[in-house]
Amino acid sequence: MKKGTTTAPFNDKDSQNKRILAYLLSGKSLTPLEGLHLFNCFSLAQRVFDLRSKGVPIHTEMVCLQSKKRVARYFIESIS
């Protein structure tokens, strides 16, 4: 490893994609801030794009936070 570089565990996009997919498949939803806290993912929209391009049916809902800011909430509808 070169001097000054670090590798954080679970930081590569494939690992993030797998963990985000498992999280969404468990019936939970995810906002960008939650993605940052739970998966160290600075670009949840990009990970969602990656998963959608592989055929994963992720839905987006715009939600308003207490701070009046609107953010995307990603989820997979349950098949019941």
- The pLDDT score that the predictor gives to residue 13 is 78
Of residues 6 and 47, more confidently modeled: 47
pLDDT tens-digit readout, 9-60: 545 778 999 999 999 999 999 999 999 999 999 999 999 999 999 999 999 9
C-beta pairs of 28-31 under 8 Å, 24+ apart in sequence: 28/75, 29/61, 29/73, 29/74, 29/75, 30/73, 30/74, 30/75, 31/63, 31/71, 31/72, 31/73, 31/74
Of residues 30 and 65, more confidently modeled: 30
Stretch 69-79: mean pLDDT: 92
